[in-house]
Amino acid sequence: MKKVGIVMGSDSDLPILRKAMDTLSALDIPYECHIYSAHRTPEQARDFAASARENGFGVLIAAAGMAAHLAGAIAANTTLPVIGIPCKSTCLDGMDALLSTVMMPPGIPVATVAINGGVNAALLSAQILAVEDPALAARLDAKRAGDAAKVLQKDAALQAELSR
Ligand code: RP5
């Protein structure tokens, strides 16, 4: 199976990416995770993106906060699908990173998930890989069914409480 490549701009973004890694692990998807910054280590970020396809990656996730140029910089150097996670920093509640990540110019797409959306970034990467992988598609279906069952259990508990 192709790997998911995860890049974050700083180790301060790691709590958000841990959720992505946990989600990928639960689906048995191999991944690599690195700290490369568009601004502080631009050569490493570029090299990782430029060699990602030949290194066995199928999708890349890039997470950054503040002036979040990492996903765009990664996307500029590969035609693999790139998923951007805008990370919330201490100022502006993540709107700075959201706009920096989502507003890509035509020609260089970044599929941007919600602010701090580590879980959905992992699930979207899984869904992309599952296009060519029926076994992974089945695991995603099972996860959806399990998630739905948990909601219905909570509804049943609520109904029981309200009817007392
Ligand atoms: C961004 O700046 C990083 O992605 C991080 O979200 C933010 C702050 O970085 P640190 O100062 O915590 O290293 O590049």
Task: Tell whether 36 and 110 lie within a shared domain.
Answer: yes
Task: Tell whether 73 and 142 lie within a shared domain.
Answer: no
Q: What is the mean pLDDT of residues 113-140?
A: 98
If phi > 0 it is left, if psi is from -120 to 50 it is alpha, else beta; for residue 123 that is alpha
Angle 120-74-17 (CA atoms, 0-180°, nearest 5)?
35
pLDDT digits (tens, 9 = 90+) for 3-50: 999 999 999 999 999 999 999 999 999 999 999 999 999 999 999 999
Distance of CA 127 to the CA centre of its chain: 11
143 pLDDT above the threshold of 90? yes
Task: Tell whether 151 and 81 lie within a shared domain.
Answer: no
Please tell me if the CB atom of residue 38 comes closer than 6 angstroms to any atom of ligand 1.
no
Task: Tell whether 60 and 102 lie within a shared domain.
Answer: yes
Nearest CA to ligand 1 atom 5: 65
Contact criterion met (CB below 8 Å) for 75 and 52: no
State the Cα–Cα distance between residues 110 and 147, nearest whole angstrom: 27
Please tell me if the CB atom of residue 9 comes closer than 6 angstroms to any atom of ligand 1.
yes
Per-residue confidence (pLDDT) for residue 142, from 0 to 100: 98
Per-residue confidence (pLDDT) for residue 90, from 0 to 100: 87
State the Cα–Cα distance between residues 42 and 93, nearest whole angstrom: 25
Joined together, the tokens standing for residue 156 give 């049943």
pLDDT digits (tens, 9 = 90+) for 47-106: 999 999 999 999 999 999 999 999 999 999 999 999 999 999 988 999 999 999 999 999
Q: Is this prediction's pTM over 0.75? A: yes
Task: Tell whether 58 and 82 lie within a shared domain.
Answer: yes
Q: What pLDDT band is residue 157 in, cutting at 50, 70 and 90?
A: very high
Task: Indicate which atom in ligand 1 lies nearest the CA of residue 40.
Answer: 14
Report the separation in Å between the CA atom of 79 and the middle of ligand 1, taken as the mean of its atom positions.
25
Joined together, the tokens standing for residue 94 give 């993540």
Task: Tell whether 21 and 32 lie within a shared domain.
Answer: yes
- Which structural domain, as residue segments, surrounds residue 16? 3-132
Task: Indicate which atom in ligand 1 lies nearest the CA of residue 63.
Answer: 4
Task: Tell whether 108 and 150 lie within a shared domain.
Answer: no
Q: How many domains does the chain have?
A: 2
